[in-house]
Amino acid sequence: MKYLNRLSVVVLLLLAIIIPIVFFAISIGTNKTIEDNAKTAQSYAKESSEKRLQSEAAYSEISKIIPGVVCIGSDLMSSFGTDNTNFVADLQNKLNNEGYKIPVTNLAVRGENMLTILGRIGVVPFVIAKDVTIPAKADLIDIDLDSSEDGLVWPLAISSDSSNFNPVNIAGHEGMIGGDVRTDPETGENRHYFVRMTDGEPFTIPAGSVINTSSDDEFKDFAHIIWVGENDKWDNYELLSDYIERIIASCGANKSRYLVLGLIGGSSESTKEYDRIMEASFGSHFLNVRKYLAGVKLEDVDVEFTDEDKQAQSRGEVPQCFLQQGGLVLNDKGYNVLLDYVYNGLVANDCIRKPKNQ
């Protein structure tokens, strides 16, 4: 019994000595772990901050070279009539998802013809067709617009989206131009009006005065995506090519950074001359949309197709499964398939950039 009591005392003494030592060791270990974790967190935060600053600096340098992408066009570029597609916005999302921090601006207005598009971006400027007197009060005054070249124009006739049209400057006077829908579907004629920005002295705008729109210069240094020509009846594709070349020539620092998207109508046979001229004029910058969509393997994309669609492809035509009713504009599926083609074209032609380490 005495032996057990002595043993108990010894055990208790040992526990009294060992337990504090164990707790002390655990405490030291825990503190070291916390300290190590804190150092790791601090190091990670510092590294992350440095990488973020490096990335921001890299993107800042890139934006000095390529400040953005601007999309020029009409119905095709505006993806008019689709249910779920905004082609330019979808392209912006694609670039964001791929790590490109670059803004994409849409200057497409549905329903416009070639000269109207060129007038809106200042390549072939709009002019005042007749002398017009602007009164002292900022009221709506009817004006007649014309192109500085031979042909009809109807800016703002179809869409309420001014696409950086306003404010305008005419003969040194700033104001806003508006317009109604076309009153004559055959000629494209429609009513336009001008309103000065503030009240002041009356002035007269002489006939022939050039109209400088807001988008004349704002996007000159952007990489360009040009998709034009669907609202004109072309019997001379050399002229279409010339107009596109004039858009490119009007660009500032990035004349070599552009894409020209091809029209979607016709077949391999009927578009031979158009394809030849576009390819000769623009080389790798020309994306033959008709040929691309005619060559897509329909079994590999999320689309319901028919034997007629396959037969259309065999003729080099865009299949109906990629087109809206009437076949003039792509549908949601067509635009979705086209998105990667355009994205790859931007990358291949150095129209977009991101830091080399990303």
Q: How does residue 120 score in pLDDT terms, banded at 50, 70 and 90?
A: very high
Residues facing 128 on adjacent strands:
145
For the domain spanning 69-107+219-358, the CATH number is 3.40.50.1110
Helix (H, G, I), strand (E, B) or coil at 67: coil
- Whether pLDDT at 58 is above 70: no
Helix (H, G, I), strand (E, B) or coil at 41: helix
Question: The CATH number of 124-216 is which of 2.30.30, 1.10.3470, 2.40.33, 1.20.1440?
Answer: 2.40.33
Among the listed residues 121, 126, 125, the one whose alpha carbon sits nearest the alpha carbon of residue 218: 121
- Whether pLDDT at 53 is above 50: no
DSSP annotation of 260: E
Residues facing 194 on adjacent strands:
141, 177
Q: What is the pLDDT of residues 125-170, one digit of tens each?
A: 999 999 999 999 999 999 999 999 998 888 877 766 667 899 999 9
Among the ranges 6-15, 108-117, 157-166, which has the highest mean pLDDT value?
A: 108-117
DSSP-assigned states of every residue in 80-142: TT-SS--HHHHHHHHHHHTT----EEE---TT--HHHHHHHTTSS-EEESS-EEE-SS---EE
Q: What is the pLDDT of residues 301-336, one digit of tens each?
A: 999 999 999 999 999 999 999 999 988 899 999 999
- Whether pLDDT at 207 is above 80: yes
Give the model's pLDDT for residue 52: 46
Quote the CA–CA distance of 193 and 202 in Å, as a whole number. 16
Q: Which residue has the higher pLDDT, 77 or 179?
A: 77
Residue 64 burial (CB count, 10 A): 10
Helix (H) or strand (E) holding 226: strand 223-227
Quote the CA–CA distance of 26 and 77 in Å, as a whole number. 68
Q: What is the pLDDT of residues 224-282, one digit of tens each?
A: 999 999 999 999 999 999 999 999 999 999 999 999 999 999 999 999 999 999 999 99
